[in-house]
Structure 1
Amino acid sequence: MDLTGYKGILEGLLFATGDEGLSVKQIRNALDLDAESIEHLVQELIDDYNQPSRGITIMKSNQVLHLTTKPEHSGYYKKLLETPQSSRLSQAALETLAIVAYKQPITRIEIEEVRGVKSDRPVQTLVSRSLIQEVGRKEGIGRPILYGTSTEFLTYFGLRSIEELPPLPENLSEPDIEGEADLFFEKFQDQLDMEKE
């Protein structure tokens, strides 16, 4: 049996499961292969990752396989974490923040409907920077998370309350919300950057 194509699939599965990792049984179920073939694929990936030009490896813990960074590179990761993050928000994050600010409470799916693109990363960025937060759950299938702005958001943009946001033009169509609100947030972002220099 030619297992060449399965190696890439296994790598993708390990990447997609992140910190949770995959058990051999889960891999067997997903790939519909016997235990010996799975063992062969895993060993091939481990051999590939053992090359000095590769930055990741496979770790096995409690019969679960995880993709992880190489321990010998830990000094570089530590250095990265100690480096202050850029305070500048990306365009996608600014658009998402504008939508949340003006349409809150709002779900990620509703944000994506306004933006027209997937918004997982910008939402994660804004949550990790504490500019938006979970404010509840929407009733309905799956009970998706509702997001709203945080106190840190107000502090970051120098506002006393959400009511201080500039009003959007009355004739503005919904898909244009991010464009108008973006200008507001970019102005504040530039001002904050100047103050920090």
Structure 2
Amino acid sequence: MSTLGRRAATTAATRRGIIDAARELLATHDWQHFTIEAVANRAGVTRVTVYNQVRSKRGLLDAVLADLVDRAGMDQLLTDTQHLSAGEACAAIVQRTCLFWHSERELLRALFGLAAVDHDVASILEQREEWRGKQMQSLVRRLAAESAPSFDEADVLAGVTAVTSFVTYDALGPIADDPDRAAVLVTHLVRSLTD
């Protein structure tokens, strides 16, 4: 391996360690303990290294969320379901979304709670929700092409985005402990809005 290749691999491993340390801190500690210094200590690097990788606490949080989405393949939902009928795509997208919400429930619960009191957290989550809303818009259009929804597209989209959100998933209580059961219910809600 060339020197550049080794350097790139080392940089990637350092970034991975920082993101993993940040994720662990977010999931297991109060927000006030989520600092650049605490992440650096947990990752075994200096604060300067963390700043070089992510630039700020906000950048660190954004990197953690981007990593979660990437690992779960959430940015591939539309591509992965394009060969399916709209109804099958709906079920598959809801299923994967519920699995994602379930697997990251503790971390996301903490972040959505923090969004009520921290502008940076709220802003980052809002950006992620806008992106998710665009995915839901594509799904709603596919579903509308197969049926004639009773509501206008913007209203249907608002409803679908709401019923597929983490906040709704988390509010399902014991049902959310079983992502497959939750997916059946949420798919039914989505289809009731789009049929």
Structure of greater relative contact order (alpha carbons < 8 Å, 6+ residues apart): 2
TM-score (norm 2): 0.28
Would you tell me which structure has more strand in proportion to its own residues? Answer: 1
TM-score (norm 1): 0.28
